[in-house]
Structure 1
Amino acid sequence: MSTIHDILDPSWMRLEGTFDEQVVKLFYHVTLTRDEVEEDLLRLFRDVKNTLRTYWPGCELMPYGSLYQGTAFKTSDVDCFIQIPILYKTGRDTVVLTARDILSHRSDLFAQLSTAINVPVPIVKFVHIPTSRECDLTFDCPPGVSNSKLLWYLFHLDKRALDLAILVKYWAKIHNFIGPYLLRTYALLLMVVFYLQQLRMLPTIHALQRNVPYVAWRVWNIAFQEVIYPNNNQTSLKHLLGGFFKFFSYYNFEENVISPYVGCSIPRKRFRKVSSISKHFTLYEGNLRLKLCESLNIETPMCVQDVFNHSSNCSVLVFPDLGKNIKKHFRTAAKLYESESDENFLNAIFVKH
């Protein structure tokens, strides 16, 4: 398996050929192959499920996050939700500690076991020894499961959407502004969705929830329907990538909320008073009035609104210095798109400036 150092050092790959040929080579180098998924990940899933079923018969495993979405790199952690039959349900923290103890009995399979409890989503962390992959297990169905299903659907409506998401994620990883205590990868992917919505290549989430039976997660609706979405856009992947950089190099982050839910920018000031919130946010407005949720945090350099939990700013950890750095990278990449040839564009944007 490639190391994180290898993944984040594209220089030795010597990307050559047309833009599309370079993308194929890059993806082969950094993304999971079908064999890796089938051989490594399926073995990991099988070992985890079989081990936990010795204590919780009938429990099920559901991968989510980058692996489910199709945007995982070779070095990506594996995120899994474990659904336990109702007759075994106890307190969340107790379940997590019990799972850690169960897995610890198989020291031939699982190492470096640790837990995070007293947090919004308690998890068990470990390394799967046969595949050397790090894995996080959660037992409280997080919004990440529904978000991952939605992103999988959106990115597979058009292959260019998935390819664009991978390229943008890799570019951001190279320049070290996504990750823990930085811009969340999920927020960046929502920005890709938002950009493609402006091009009418992807539907709004509001449209996908229309006339669909309500499915509640806490106080939010996580239901959506998969539809065949007409898309006549013929823009090449290279120009979609360059257009993404240009769009956000000019974007007015200071005054707007990026809302993939409605597929358009919303002035931040409209979220300052309940009475001025858009009619599309009736659930958010109702939850606010009943004090079932917090207000959307709009006092940050960037505000990317979650697709289901409309009170969640997914870019809340972007503080002023990081925000300036991210905008600088957008401007630099946009200039390179305008100045570099098709053959040198990818090489140029991956150089650390």
Structure 2
Amino acid sequence: MNWVDILDTSWLRFEGDFDTQVQEVLRYVRLTPDRVYGLKHLFDDIEEAFQHIAPGCQVMPFGSVVTGLGIKTSDADVFVALPDGHQPSVSHVVHAKNILYRYHRKFTQLFAITKAKVPIVKFFHVPTQFHCDVNFKSPAGVYNSKLLAFLLHMDERVLPLTILIKYWSKIHKFTGTNLLGNYALTMMVVFYLQLMNILPSVYELQRHIPPYYVDGWNTAFDDTMHSTTRNTDSLYQLMGGFFKCYSVFNFKDNIISPFLGRVISKKCMDSCDLPEEFSLYMDHVARDVRKRFKTTSKICIQDPFDHSRNCSVAVSERLADRIFAHIRFATNKFELNHSERFLKAILTQDPNSAHASAAPVPNKHVSNNKIQKQNRKKQKKVLQNGVKNLFNQYQNLAKGKR
């Protein structure tokens, strides 16, 4: 199946109860076992090719293919750790592109982005049919992915909920490049589940173990902690609750902080009037080692490790308003309490379109004969109504009425 197909919801039947529909959607959108297995070949090919750049370099994948959030539109992300004595630079990206060009039967569509904050080389891996981004500079994604992979598997409801929310965002085209990042959206789900006492705060995961600093931030966490939640909400209740939570969230004044597991006011962040849990951030700001967290965007989501990073800083006001409209629409559908209709409504209807809610989504599983039969019934009904109207008009005229 072509990866574009998953954005076409007309292939989905939406039959049965909510949980049955969830399983259908997950089968439809998630990477197949064969595709996941193929990733090993991709990483092996990259590592083999890059030995020409720096012998002993190590390929470290991160992102959705590592966390379990991989869907059929997902790209692969890789950080290449250079051996001791090698300092990453833009030249590594350019060199990587030239090296991969030699393996033209494996790597195509090569493109080096050298002026980005984190320079990358992009390419398409022919054997596995994966698009891939490689960087030599920042390992942050590797550690963020380890944290997410742990949290997403801490409770059996977390991963399917997050995939459903991700798919919802993809269909309505508000996550991706130059939009709300997939990572930021995932952090919204994590934060909501922290508020629901299903997931612990990152601070709780870090407080009893020695720190491990990467780029000045503590990336260590206790990966032996088990869930102790008493929350028994169903997946349907949690999904509806996600939309309800953010439909009333005060984005204007507050910051989403998965590190703290509770809301931080923008005012407190701007004045550095923060709880002691943020001592590392305040020390970095005081010594001018890191910039202050930017609170100017309409949606503010704090990175759980790098506390000076706003993961949603690039979200425009127009995009934020569109996201809010989708959240309100999903909340309204949830409050109608029709669980068997909920997924279809939020995945096939666009509240930002004037006609979307009224327009039925074609179902490709309906046979042509059935469609023709339905059309004949409609035509017959129209004809019957027309004859009835003519008859009534005739009677009125006969009685001298107009």
Q: TM-score, length-normalised on structure 1?
A: 0.95
Pair 1:297 & 2:256 matched: no
| Aligned ranges 1:171-250 → 2 under 5 Å | 171-226=168-223, 227-250=225-248
The answer for the alignment partner of 1:51 in structure 2 is 49
1:308-339 Cα shifts (integer Å, max 9, x gaps): 11111111112211111111111100010111
CA distance in 2, matches of 1:119, 1:292: 21
CA distance in 2, matches of 1:66, 1:338: 31
Paired residue total:
349
1:243 Cα shift? 0.6
CA distance in 1, matches of 2:278, 2:344: 42
The answer for the alignment partner of 2:24 in structure 1 is 25
CA contact (8 A) 1:2 1:75 kept: no
CA distance in 1, matches of 2:227, 2:277: 21
1:42 Cα shift? 1.7
The answer for the alignment partner of 1:277 in structure 2 is 274
CA distance in 2, matches of 1:294, 1:54: 37
The answer for the alignment partner of 1:288 in structure 2 is 285
Pair 1:265 & 2:270 matched: no
CA contact (8 A) 2:88 2:136 kept: no
CA contact (8 A) 2:217 2:305 kept: yes
CA distance in 1, matches of 2:159, 2:138: 25
Unaligned runs of 5+ in 1: none
SS of residue in 2 equivalent to 1:272: helix
The answer for the alignment partner of 2:366 in structure 1 is none
Pair 1:329 & 2:326 matched: yes
1:148 is matched with which residue: 141, 145, 149?
A: 145
SS of residue in 2 equivalent to 1:343: helix
CA distance in 2, matches of 1:347, 1:81: 38
The answer for the alignment partner of 1:72 in structure 2 is 70
1:192 Cα shift? 0.3
| Aligned ranges 1:80-95 → 2 under 5 Å | 80-87=78-85, 89-95=86-92
1:6-65 Cα shifts (integer Å, max 9, x gaps): 111112222211211111111111111222211x21221222122223553332212101
SS of residue in 2 equivalent to 1:165: helix
Q: Percent identity?
A: 42
1:232 Cα shift? 2.1
CA distance in 2, matches of 1:294, 1:15: 48
Unaligned runs of 5+ in 2: 351-402
2:3 aligned partner, one-letter code:
T
After alignment, is 54-63 or 157-166 more displaced?
54-63
1:160 Cα shift? 0.6
CA distance in 2, matches of 1:151, 1:90: 28
CA contact (8 A) 1:78 1:134 kept: yes
After alignment, is 237-246 or 112-121 more displaced?
112-121
1:134-166 Cα shifts (integer Å, max 9, x gaps): 101111233111111100000000121011110
CA distance in 2, matches of 1:20, 1:2: 26
Bigger radius of gyration among the two: 2
Output the aligned Cα RMSD. Answer: 1.4
The answer for the alignment partner of 1:130 in structure 2 is 127
CA distance in 1, matches of 2:255, 2:138: 27
The answer for the alignment partner of 1:12 in structure 2 is 11
CA contact (8 A) 2:82 2:88 kept: no
Q: TM-score, length-normalised on structure 2?
A: 0.84
After alignment, is 211-220 or 156-165 more displaced?
211-220
